[in-house]
Structure 1
Amino acid sequence: MTEDARIALVGSPNAGKTSVFNALTGLRAKTGNYPGVTVARYVGTCRAGGRAQLIEDLPGTYSLEPISPDERITVDVLDGRLDGAPRPDALLVVVDATTLRRSLLLVAQVLARSLPTCVVLTFTDELALRQGRLDVDALSRALGVPVLAVVGHRRLGIAQLRERIASWRSWPAPVLAPPTDPAELDAWAESVLVFAGYRPAERHRATQRLDAVLLHPVWGLIVFFAVMMVFFQTVFTLAAPLQGGVETLFGWLSGLVADHVGSPWLSGLLGDAVIGGVGGVLVFVPQIVLLFLLLALLEGVGYLSRAAFLMDRVMARAGLEGRAFVALLSSFACAIPGIMATRTLPSAKDRLATMMAAPLMTCSARLPVYVLLIGLLVDPSSRIGPFGAQGLIMFGLYLLGAVSAMVAAWAVKKLTDRHGTPMPFFMEMPPYRMPAPRAVLLAMWSSARAFLRKCSTVIVVTSLALWLALNLPLHSAAQMRAAGVDTTNSVAVSAYVIDHSYAATVGRAVAPVFDPLGFDWRVNVGVLSAQSARETFVATLGQVAAAEDAENPAGALRAMTYPDGPRAGQQVLTAPTIAALLVYFAYALQCMATVAVIRRETGTWRWPAIAFGYLTVTAWLMALLARTVTAALTGG
């Protein structure tokens, strides 16, 4: 089926453009970057009238007078100035019916491009629910172009939109183009609204009452912190039984391998490296899925935009604006989309400061590490007042990351833009609404799928490499007996092999760096392996623990002792050491993909090198401080 046309979706952020795009393209969408730039590109195929129409979702913009890289790309595509991205044949302008007055500015600018245009009205159901009114046919006559009403997340009106797309060549055009003079444009917009019988939507009384509290400078912050506390308590409490089930499943699979694979080498490779290494990370999928589900729910009900408004005051103290909070919030899933989201910032120096701060936000890759270490540090039944101790520590780590990100952004902004002033920040406050279950589940699955994809690629490869490093070089039975090892004892053999492996050599080589933090060579190997992906720290310790006690790896980690040196025989993972590890992972930039994205976004290796350097040094110093303080408090 040949493509009949290239049709671009244009609209402001939060106008429902992406819902319309998803409804039109279904599962036939793909992502990439525009040629020569790093702004994301979303393209899909819509079957209409027996032909395949190429649909492109352009970056959201409030007007065609760009102030950010994303908005510049939209204008360049519409004007045909971007190499490798041909000018669209036709345009769909997605307009939120509840903000029609403001949206008419963008509609006028699009109509000035003289391309076949159709206006797609979203949230008309909400307009009616809030006592608003609009005559769609009259609006079409007033604008001189087709106008259709759709409800994207419920797929209402999508069939009619497909039919209209099929006949894009016959779309009518305005007899007179909208004026370009601002004063005349306001009069034109008013005349269109009057002709269409438009009555704005009333503000929800419930929304007004809630916002009086949630946007209050004092009560709003109290509620924000309470929501976050409940958030992390829920992640721990609800995920625990699910995590136990996943752990049991992988334990059963490891047992199957041990029972049915005769070759010790192959059995170890499959059981310890693949199932043990990857399974040790997948055990934390319930927490990660819950994290993304709760974030999607908070966004869907409209609370996250309120949180961004509250945080705008905090961001201003760091010399940034509220849009930077949105980028940093994206980093809770992964620093990479957070860094990419800085493209919406109009100031290049704001983008740089936010990029330098984004890796400090607690991403999902840290979650398995935190859950493992907190589980070793605190008993699940421990409570501090009405809250579980584990959830409070997790909340504290997220808070530490957020505060540190603000400090880092402030420092970078001071160094790079001493006389800069924050630009005005505009953010819509949508009414509180029940989110569509399908949209919430899709958002959750999209983020969880990215984590699972990492498990199936980076973590599998790293786990295999780690297993080889922990089991090579090979040692004969005679060599082990000469060293006094009981070769009939599998645990003793495993301990000897690991202690004389290539990994042990590397771990001991870097010991002078990490000795002050209380790490032994096995922990050192885990920290080094985490440079590929933080989750591999869990896989590394999982393989070490499984080799020492396959039946009870968690117990093996708790009982792990220093094999040699001045601390020989002492427990490794004490409270001070675990505190140092938690803080080290809170600060260290241990994701080479993030380094690569900073390089791509800044166009130089200078800033990723600075980010890696300052975060690694900060991680070591803060970990040493955490160990010292914890040792003083616990007497350890």
Structure 2
Amino acid sequence: MANPVKAAPGCTVVVLGNPNAGKSTLFNGLTGVRQHVGNYPGVTVEKRSGLISIDDEDFELVDLPGTYSLAPTSPEEMLAVKILLGKPPAAGKPDVILCVIDASNMQRNLFLVSQVLELNQPTVVAVNMVDVAKRNGVEIDCEKLQQLLGVPVVPVQAKRREGFDALKRAIADSRNKNPDFPHDPFEASLKDRIEQLESTCPDDCALKRFAVTRMLFDTDGFMADQLKSEVGPTTLESVESEKQKMESGKEPVFESESSARYSWITRHSDEFIKQTGPVRASSITDRLDAWLTHPIWGLGVALLVSVMLFQLVFWIADPASDMIDWFNGTLASIVNGVVPAGTLNSLLVDGLINGVGSVLIFLPQILLLFLILALLEDSGYLARAAFLMDRYLSKIGLSGVTLFPLLSSFACAIPGIMATRVIKNDRERLVTILIAPLMSCSARLPVYVLLIATFVPAQSYLGGLLGLRGLTMFAMYMVGIVVAVIVAWILRRTFVKSPPTSFVLEMPSYKVPSLRNVGQRMFDGGWSFIRDAGTIIVAVTILVWAAAYFPRLNESNPPAELTNDFAVVQRLEPQLETLADDAAERPSIESELAVAQNNISAFHLRQSYLGRSGKLIEPVVKPLGWDWRIGSAAIASFPAREVVVSTMGVIFGLGSEVDEESDSLREQLAAAKWEGSDRPLFTLPVALSLMVFFALCAQCVSTLAVIKRETNSWFWPTFSFVYMTVLAYIGAFAVYQIFSRMIS
């Protein structure tokens, strides 16, 4: 477990860099286990901070979101700029800025560095992946680059932790030393305009150059809003006037900055970049991309990788989840042997142990999914798959990078929602979070299997190639997919509306993933789920247990309909304790005792607050073809959808040990009648209605807890629960009414 960061150290260092420059690998290598992961106050962006020691003094490192420039276009980039400026949620300006750049892609990375130097704050440049550049036949002269930039430049290999000592020394020595940037990237005419605008700034403004430059090239007003208190109204008016003059020219304002900075980098690149040999890695990358980004073969590979990801979550995570389930069962048996039957026993076993188990049961899936996504992203393949899928997902307002989170949600929405962290656009990520629960997860499968096997006829078509039961199962999965597409399309045009943006994604070089970085991301994902979502899940599970347990019967004076069952229990329980395990009469006694105990449990549930709630909502669910018993099962399934099967077992007097394969449960459901009549309770329309409801509803507190964790707000899980419940009700109502009329 990562150790929490201690009291505020004497120096704060922010780590900044382009995506795929190895920034997180460097951060993990420097901080090791002395790091802390949380959220910035009031926002959903993750904050990673850690400690490093230099000369027995602690320095705090803060890993900022990856950004290509200080002209922010996403909430993550905006947050990075705010922290650089010392704006909330930052407590103040950083003492040192550590810029991490990719040695194999210097020109693009130096664009960001040239902007950072205009902040006139202590800065260190770490040139990472010098080994990759060398394999490309490129050598970086860091001394010449240091002379050009006027700040310390240190070569490092973050994966191997090489150059860290020199980097730490440069950080310590850079405190209170502002850059000595000897060059101006802008040509004379643009430079004169900037200097004229600087002259309008107040004398006490410490960010004159940075402020007027950023506001001049700002396209959406964000930077002007952040810097208006530093420059004052006169400078704001002057900048706006100058911007209008520039916009009347041939070249757009934002292109003027790009052209000037890249031209400056190109002019000086020969001073520090030496081509020492043939380019190897890029040619390998090109040959791989010829296949992996091909519109046909590449798409096939992307779909194959997606299917393998989906299968791995089942093949590997399921056995691990079964082990956790076995451990919970063993622990419950121990508690049953120590704590006598009663309220405390039920609280510990049915409330606390089941609650903690319902959290831990998801952990293998979450860890495995973060492992796979980290490997795909660090290797460079995730960007290729996103590029290929973008043409399809863009039609509903999403980008290609949403593919893996949505696909993962078919196994479980919880890791799927957490996997949306790979989506950089905040609004796309929110839409993906809101539609991920509509993918039919594995928890819905027991409901489908039980109802399809019991009520859907075993008819076949096309010579046995297609079966009605298989088609029904396929239809349940398609319901979620089709509705998710419609919901995403609507959300992108209403609640989560934003101007259309082009999908810009860097194609990084292929490389071997850092196992340390991958392991850290696995740990961060698993721990954040347990810490933040797990507490909510356990709390709600205990509340639902209490609703199903209370009020209790007075066993000394049971109701008339249970008199015989209580008598059987009182007579047979002592008798069973004295019998040997291999006694011939033991099976018959156990069977008779189980029937009596199940009858008592069913009565308890009917009289509980949960059962009363089911009766209360019966008028609401009756148009769906349900009675209070089905309604109670739906309410009880709020902690987890699959609980509906065991709850039905209790309600119909078979106990909670039944599952979707139990013949006794299928027979009991098929024989169930509406109370007070001979009309069958379950029919094919009712079964279809119930399946459609569970295909669309938000009956999973774990999913809602994770939505709260990932959005840092109770609004969006509430919104998800409401809109999905309404959709589920409308869908179930339509299916029941239509099929009832078709079959009658």
When normalised by structure 2's length, the TM-score is 0.70
**Are 1:369 and 2:443 counterparts?**
yes
> Of the candidates 118, 124, 129, which is equivalent to residue 112 of structure 1?
118
Match of 2:353 in 1: 275
Match of 1:68 in 2: 74
**CA–CA separation in structure 1 for the residues paired with 2:366 and 2:513:** 20
Q: Map residues 83-482 of structure 1 onto 2, 5 A cutoff.
A: 84-169=90-175, 173-174=179-180, 176-181=182-187, 182=257, 184-199=260-275, 202-279=280-357, 282-283=360-361, 285-319=363-397, 333=414, 344=425, 351=427, 355-362=430-437, 367=441, 369-370=443-444, 372-373=446-447, 376=450, 404-415=483-494, 422-453=500-531, 456-477=534-555, 479-482=557-560
Contact 1:150 1:156 in 2 (8 A): yes
> Of the candidates 605, 618, 621, which is equivalent to residue 727 of structure 2?
618
Match of 2:605 in 1: 498
Q: Map residues 550-569 of structure 1 onto 2, 5 A cutoff.
A: 555=662, 561=669, 562=672, 564-565=674-675
Structure 1 segments unaligned to the other structure (5+ residues): 346-350, 380-384
Q: 2:54 corresponds to which letter in structure 1?
A: A
Shift of 1:474: 1.6
SS at match of 2:10: strand
**Are 1:21 and 2:21 counterparts?**
no
Q: 1:152 to 1:471 in 2, by over 3 A?
A: same
**CA–CA separation in structure 2 for the residues paired with 1:444 and 1:223:** 25
Contact 1:23 1:153 in 2 (8 A): yes
Match of 1:509 in 2: 616
Match of 2:695 in 1: 583
Q: 1:30 to 1:614 in 2, by over 3 A?
A: same
Greater mean alpha carbon deviation, residues 462-471 or residues 137-146: 137-146
Q: 1:175 to 1:307 in 2, by over 3 A?
A: closer
**CA–CA separation in structure 1 for the residues paired with 2:392 and 2:630:** 37
**CA–CA separation in structure 2 for the residues paired with 1:456 and 1:609:** 18
Contact 1:302 1:432 in 2 (8 A): yes
Contact 1:357 1:406 in 2 (8 A): no
Match of 2:200 in 1: none
**CA–CA separation in structure 2 for the residues paired with 1:99 and 1:394:** 50
Render the CA deviation track for 1:402-455: whole Å, top value 9, x for unaligned.
66444333223445899x863332211123333233333332333233443467
Shift of 1:336: 6.6
Q: 1:294 to 1:609 in 2, by over 3 A?
A: closer
Structure 2 segments unaligned to the other structure (5+ residues): 1-6, 188-256, 454-463, 570-595
Shift of 1:563: 7.4
Q: 2:137 corresponds to which letter in structure 1?
A: Q
Greater mean alpha carbon deviation, residues 313-322 or residues 589-598: 589-598
Contact 2:685 2:739 in 1 (8 A): no
SS at match of 2:127: strand
Shift of 1:145: 1.7
Render the CA deviation track for 1:526-573: whole Å, top value 9, x for unaligned.
54466xxx6534457657758954655664866663575366675999
SS at match of 2:504: coil
Aligned-residue sequence identity (percent) comes to 32
SS at match of 2:508: coil
Q: 1:72 to 1:460 in 2, by over 3 A?
A: closer
Q: 1:273 to 1:519 in 2, by over 3 A?
A: farther
Match of 1:49 in 2: 55
Greater mean alpha carbon deviation, residues 521-530 or residues 493-502: 521-530
Contact 1:254 1:271 in 2 (8 A): yes
Render the CA deviation track for 1:292-331: whole Å, top value 9, x for unaligned.
4333333333322122112221243234555777997898
Greater mean alpha carbon deviation, residues 449-458 or residues 551-560: 551-560
SS at match of 1:86: coil
**CA–CA separation in structure 1 for the residues paired with 2:555 and 2:128:** 73
Q: 1:86 to 1:206 in 2, by over 3 A?
A: same
Greater mean alpha carbon deviation, residues 545-554 or residues 469-478: 545-554
SS at match of 1:477: coil
Q: 1:131 to 1:528 in 2, by over 3 A?
A: farther
SS at match of 2:73: coil
**CA–CA separation in structure 2 for the residues paired with 1:169 and 1:299:** 34
